[in-house]
Amino acid sequence: MGALLRAHPTLWLLRLLWLAMPWSVGAAAADALGACSETSARILSAELWAAWGFVLTATFVRRPWALTVARIAAPASVGVAIGSAAAAAAWDADLTALRAATAIAGAVITAAVALLPETGNAMVDGLSYGNERRMLLRTPFLLAVAPIPFVWTAVVAGVTLPLVLWAIGQWIWASVATIAGLIAAVLGFRSLHQLSRRWVVFVPNGFVLHDQMATREPFLLRRADVVTLGAAPADIDVEAHDLVDISGNALGPVLLVELSEHIEVVPRTTGTAQVLAVSRVLFSPTRPGEMLAEAARRRIPR
C-alpha cells in the first residue's frame, strides 16, 4: 500500500485521467452507439467497459507489461474519440461539438501523460526491490519513426476489429479477423513490450545497462570502475575500438561513462556473437538529468 501511495504524480494523473474516461470518450462513444442496433450497442458498450476496466487495473500494477498496455491503450482512446465524433456526425447522433471536443482533448491528454518518461520510469520501477532503481532508456530513432507506429496499429486493429465484427453479427469475417488479429496482437505486443524492458538499473555497487535490443546480455558498470559519467561530447568517435554505443541514435542527450577497467559487452548482431572489450559506453536514458542526479546520490563519479 505504501508503494502505491508513493507513486510518481504523473502516474497518479494517468490513473485519474483514465478513471474519468467514461465521462469524456465514453460519453461520445455512447452517443455514437445510439445509431446501432440495440444488441450491437450493448455488446460494443460491454467491450468498451471491459477494456476500460482492464487498462485502469493495469495503471495500478507497476510492471513493464502494464506500461506496455497503457501506452497501447491510451493513444488508441484518441482514435475511439475521433471515430465516435465522426460516426455521431455522420449518423446525426445527439453529440454536441463541446462534448466531442472534450472527448478528443481528454484522450489526447491521457495519451500524452501515458507517454511521459516519468510515467514510464514510475511503472517499470515497480520491479525494483531493496536499494534498486530502474529508469527507462530512450527509444532508438529508427524504431520511433517507422516500425513502432505500424506495429501499434496492427495491435490495436488486431484487438478491436474482431470485437466490432462479432458485435455487428458478421460471423464469417469475425472468425477470420479473430485468428489474424490474435496473431498480429500477440506478435505486436511482444515487439512493443521490448521497449518497456530497456532500462538502467541502479544496484548497490553501481548500475546495470539492460537493453537486449542492443546487447545480448545486460552488463554491470561497477561504481569502483567508473571514472566519469556525464554528457557525451558532440565530436566523440563512435567507431573507436574501446567504445560501444547502445544509444540507438535516440533523439536527445546521450551519456558517456568512462571506466578504469575494460568490460566485456556482446552487441546484438545478425551474425556470430562478438565479444567486445570496452572502457567507454554511450547510452541514452529518457531522463538523463534525473539519471545523473541518482548517480550522484549513490556517489558514482561524474
Q: What pLDDT was estimated at residue 94?
A: 63
Q: Tens of pLDDT along 264-296?
A: 999 987 667 789 999 999 999 999 999 999 999
Q: Which three cell numbers stand for residue 217?
A: 546480455
Q: What pLDDT was estimated at residue 60?
A: 95
Q: What pLDDT was estimated at residue 33?
A: 84
Q: What pLDDT was estimated at residue 30?
A: 86
Question: Residue 221: inside a domain, yes or no?
Answer: yes
Are residues 3 and 100 located together in one domain of the fold? yes
Residues of the chain with pLDDT under 70: 1-7, 91-95, 270-271
Nearest CA to 122 out of 284, 8, 4 is that of 8
Identity of residue 49 = W
Question: Residue 1: inside a domain, yes or no?
Answer: yes
The full DSSP string for the chain is -HHHHTS-HHHHHHHHHHHTGGGTHHHHHHHHHTTS-HHHHHHHHHHHHHHHHHHHHHHTS-SHHHHHHHHHHHHHHHHHHHHHHHHHHHTT-S--HHHHHHHHHHHHHHHHHHTSHHHHHHHHGGG--TT-EEEEBPPPHHHHHTHHHHHHHHHHHHHHHHHHHHHTT-HHHHHHHHHHHHHHHHHHHHHHHGGGG-EEEEETTEEEEE-TTTBSS-EEEEGGGEEEEEEPPTT--TT-TTEEE-STT-SS--EEEEEEEEEEE-B--SSS---EEEEEEEE-BSSHHHHHHHHHHTT---
Q: What pLDDT was estimated at residue 27?
A: 87
Are residues 109 and 190 located together in one domain of the fold? no
Are residues 275 and 205 located together in one domain of the fold? yes
Q: Which range marks the domain in which residue 179 is found?
A: 137-197
Are residues 233 and 263 located together in one domain of the fold? yes
Are residues 23 and 62 located together in one domain of the fold? yes
Are residues 96 and 116 located together in one domain of the fold? yes
Residue 209 contacts residue 218 (beta carbons within 8 Å)? yes
The full DSSP string for 81-135 is HHHHHHHHHHTT-S--HHHHHHHHHHHHHHHHHHTSHHHHHHHHGGG--TT-EEE
**What's the domain count of the chain?**
3
Question: Residue 302: inside a domain, yes or no?
Answer: no
Q: Which of 129, 160, 182 is the last residue of a domain?
A: 129
Question: Residue 95: inside a domain, yes or no?
Answer: yes
Q: How do strand 243-245 and strand 226-231 relate by DSSP bridges?
A: unpaired
- How many other C-beta atoms lie within 10 A of the C-beta of residue 232? 20
Question: Residue 235: inside a domain, yes or no?
Answer: yes
Q: What pLDDT was estimated at residue 95?
A: 65
Are residues 213 and 192 located together in one domain of the fold? no
What is the pTM for the complete model shown?
A: 0.92
Q: Which three cell numbers stand for residue 53?
A: 476496466
The contacts of residue 100 (CB under 8 Å, 6+ apart) are 28, 81, 84, 85, 88, 89
Q: Which of 129, 160, 181 is the last residue of a domain?
A: 129
Q: What pLDDT was estimated at residue 97?
A: 79
Question: Residue 173: inside a domain, yes or no?
Answer: yes
Question: Residue 109: inside a domain, yes or no?
Answer: yes
- How many other C-beta atoms lie within 10 A of the C-beta of residue 240? 12
Query: Residue 11, Cα to own-chain centre: how many angstroms?
Result: 13
